[in-house]
């Protein structure tokens, strides 16, 4: 065992004991509720959909700034001590603004003045949204091939995207008078897509004003007072009653067990085909300990050690709460085929909210987007791809372009995506080294070759051709083929329209 690991394990043990000492215990009634929830099967629509749209839109779209220094993983690994000051996430603008050594503070002071309150952005945003056209969004998302849409209804700045009766007692008019949630739900559903809601249950800077330089301070800043828990639960129940969302997508955490499992039970009763993600982890007891400076410092050292050890965001992928429908990965790839359902979420660029300073080089190319999407599906995942609109609701051209390119590809290859499940393995290759990803349905399997189609022979390696009776090139038709031992040789036609990736249906 490494000598560096010994103190880390000691710290981990001490902290685990401390947390257990103040554990938020479940009541017997709640344990029964959770047992019943875990007997429930995940509604088939979620697995079959494969592709959803995430939308981060709020007052942070007014300044539309975050430092462009690399990915979220780069910020965590290279700037662990002051991670939130270097995050490329525009929606964290308010938090970074609290620190005078941040790039956000410098930008804000230069463009608005150091005394200009973030609250002003809320007032401006309330006016900007009057120009928004939800029907245009619905058309774009439908054409992109999305099967569901998840809207951020409250991010960490606490601004509400619907006129809830449960307003923040600490801020005046900190909500949209226009019912953005309801209007988008109608536009989405009228085009055959499902609608879901994101809600930041674990952070609300407008509630307690607590900022954070790093991950551990973020954990310490979670509101855990009874009034906030009542506030968050009231919002969830309001969203469920008003909009019957098909997805409850909580972020960061939830304060305590009180009321949480009853909320999820009641949600499923109201929306039988609803699903919840894995970010309802109860953080109240841990937050109480992290608010003690000595404990917070110890935990920071421990978490920093494991982050350096792993070199990526995996250190933040904690254990799931007692009940989940799907696990959530953020700007991460899926490692292998998973038994549990995964949803990978990311923006097309470095972050989620609209950043006016991102250039095309900061965005996924058409090829990168489609290839990563296919890889996710082959490993039992959905892609929740984010759109970050401008303050007035306009979707930046590069984002609209990428959605159109993905939609065009799905129009040809969607049979190999929607309603499929992983094959016995996700990965393969051709004799020329092109990567291949596999999916399957009840009629056979699909081999998606991650390259432009080149006319001539292609050999798919080790695909077990003995069960194959026909081969179809999606978007073209049947093509000649023959087995050769464990391999399959296919004759490809000339077809300039099949770019980026093409699909062979092996029946």
- Give the integer Cα–Cα distance in Å for 97 and 102: 7
| pLDDT score for 1 | 32
Residues of the chain with CATH 2.60.40.1180: 421-506
147 closest CA partner among 417, 397, 352, 413: 417
What kind and span of H or E run contains 224? none
Tokens of 90: 């525009």
Task: Please list the pLDDT of the chain residue by residue as tens digits (507 residues).
Answer: 333 333 444 444 445 544 444 568 999 999 999 999 999 999 999 999 999 999 999 999 999 999 999 999 999 999 999 999 999 999 999 999 999 999 999 999 999 999 999 999 999 999 999 999 999 999 999 999 999 999 999 999 999 999 999 999 999 999 999 999 999 999 999 999 999 999 999 999 999 999 999 999 999 999 999 999 999 999 999 999 999 999 999 999 999 999 999 999 999 999 999 999 999 999 999 999 999 999 999 999 999 988 887 777 666 666 789 999 999 999 999 999 999 999 999 999 999 999 999 999 999 999 999 999 999 999 999 999 999 999 999 999 999 999 999 999 999 999 999 999 999 999 999 999 999 999 999 999 999 999 999 999 999 999 998 889 999 999 999 999 999 999 999 999 999 899 999 999 999
Class of domain 5-416: alpha beta
| pLDDT score for 465 | 87
Distances (CA, A) of 68 to 213, 228, 287, 335, 355: 17, 33, 30, 27, 9
| pLDDT score for 311 | 75
Burial 469-502 (b: 16+ CB within 10 A, else e): eebbbbbbeebebeeeeebbbbebeeeeebbbbb
Tokens of 339: 């038994």
CB 59 within 8 A of CB 91: no
| pLDDT score for 318 | 65
CB 449 within 8 A of CB 458: yes
Topology (CATH) of 421-506? Immunoglobulin-like (2.60.40)
| pLDDT score for 316 | 65
| pLDDT score for 381 | 98
Residues of the chain with CATH 3.20.20.80: 5-416
| pLDDT score for 8 | 43
Tokens of 299: 């935990």
CA angle, 494 then 497 then 499, to 5°: 100
Q: Quickly count: other Cβ atoms within 10 Å of residue 296's Cβ.
A: 16
- Give the integer Cα–Cα distance in Å for 142 and 435: 29
CA angle, 448 then 449 then 452, to 5°: 130
């Amino acid at each position: 065992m490494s000598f560096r690991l010994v103190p880390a394990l000691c710290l981990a043990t001490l902290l685990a004991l401390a947390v257990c000492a103040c554990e938020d215990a479940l009541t017997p009634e709640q344990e029964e509720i959770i047992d019943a929830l875990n007997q429930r099967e995940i509604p088939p629509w979620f697995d079959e959909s494969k592709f959803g749209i995430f939308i981060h839109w709020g007052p942070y779209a007014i300044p539309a700034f975050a430092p462009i220094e690399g990915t979220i993983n780069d910020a965590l690994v290279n700037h662990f001590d002051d991670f939130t000051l270097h995050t490329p996430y525009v929606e964290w603008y308010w938090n970074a603004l609290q620190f005078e050594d941040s790039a956000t503070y410098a930008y804000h002071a230069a463009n608005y003045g150091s005394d200009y309150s973030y609250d002003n952005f809320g007032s401006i945003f309330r006016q900007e949204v009057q120009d928004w056209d939800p029907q245009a969004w619905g058309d774009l998302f439908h054409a992109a091939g999305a099967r569901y849409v998840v809207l951020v209804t409250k991010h960490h700045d606490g601004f509400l995207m619907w006129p809830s009766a449960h307003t923040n007692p600490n801020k005046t008019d900190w909500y949209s008078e226009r019912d953005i949630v309801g209007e988008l739900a109608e536009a989405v559903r009228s085009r055959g897509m499902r609608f879901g809601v994101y809600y930041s249950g674990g952070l609300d800077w407008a509630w307690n004003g607590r900022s954070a330089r790093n991950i551990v301070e973020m954990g310490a800043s979670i509101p855990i007072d009874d009034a906030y828990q009542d506030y968050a639960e009231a919002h969830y129940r309001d969203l469920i009653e008003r909009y019957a969302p098909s997805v409850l997508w909580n972020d960061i955490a939830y304060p305590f067990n009180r009321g949480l499992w009853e909320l999820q039970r009641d949600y499923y009763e109201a929306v039988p085909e609803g699903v919840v993600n894995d970010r309802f982890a109860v953080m109240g007891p841990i937050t109480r300990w992290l608010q003690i400076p000595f404990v917070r410092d110890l935990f920071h050292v421990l978490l920093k050690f494991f982050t350096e050890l792993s070199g990526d965001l995996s250190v933040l992928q904690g254990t799931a709460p007692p009940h989940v429908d799907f696990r959530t990965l953020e700007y991460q790839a899926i490692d292998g085929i998973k038994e549990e359902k995964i949803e990978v979420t990311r923006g097309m660029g470095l972050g989620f909210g609209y950043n006016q300073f991102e250039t095309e080089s900061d965005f996924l190319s058409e090829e990168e987007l489609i290839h990563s999407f296919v890889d996710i599906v082959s490993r039992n995942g959905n892609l929740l791809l984010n759109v970050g609109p401008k303050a007035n609701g306009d979707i930046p051209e590069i984002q609209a372009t990428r959605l159109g390119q993905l939609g065009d590809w799905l129009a040809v290859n969607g049979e190999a995506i929607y309603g499929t499940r992983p094959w016995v393995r996700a990965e393969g290759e051709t004799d020329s080294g092109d990567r291949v990803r596999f999916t399957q349905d009840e009629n056979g399997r699909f081999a998606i070759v991650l390259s432009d189609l080149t006319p001539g022979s292609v050999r798919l390696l080790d695909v077990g051709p003995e069960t194959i009776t026909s081969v179809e090139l999606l978007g073209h038709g049947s093509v000649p083929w023959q087995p050769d031992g464990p391999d399959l040789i296919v004759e490809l036609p000339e077809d300039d329209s099949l770019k980026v990736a093409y699909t062979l249906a092996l029946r």
